[in-house]
Amino acid sequence: MTMRRDFRRARKSIDVSVGESVRIIRELQELTQDEVSQRTGIPQSTISAIENDRINLGVERAKVIARALRCHPAVLVFPGWDIEESAA
């Protein structure tokens, strides 16, 4: 197997907000805002406000929503994090 060395690393083409990351993960799982609301106890209107970046997600809500979406809270809170370029 020959390794090619003439490749270019892909560039990030868009930035995703915290609210957009919540919406994207929810939609990938084919869940409605109402279903997330039922799973979390967070009102649907609050889920909508989070997804539209009208209110902050916050750490505690991130934990609750992440549990409902079966993902790590950091996926929601730090959508643009690049571990290779940023020092932890």
- Residue 4 confidence class, pLDDT cut points 50, 70, 90: low
Domain spanning 18-77: CATH 1.10.8.60: no
pTM for the structure as a whole: 0.75
Quick: pLDDT tens for 7-53. 677 666 678 899 999 999 999 999 999 999 999 999 999 999 999 99
Residue by residue, DSSP assigns 36-79 as HHHHH---HHHHHHHHTTSS---HHHHHHHHHHHTS-HHHHH-T
SS3 content of the chain, % helix, strand, coil (to 5): 50, 0, 50
| Domain residue ranges in the chain | 18-77
The pLDDT, as a whole number, for residue 11 is 66
Asked if residues 45 and 54 have their Cβ atoms less than 8 Å apart, the reply is: no
Rounded Cα distance between 69 and 66, Å, is 5
The pLDDT, as a whole number, for residue 1 is 52
Asked if residues 17 and 60 have their Cβ atoms less than 8 Å apart, the reply is: no
Asked whether the predicted pLDDT for residue 2 surpasses 90, the reply is no
The pLDDT, as a whole number, for residue 6 is 73
- Residue 78 confidence class, pLDDT cut points 50, 70, 90: confident
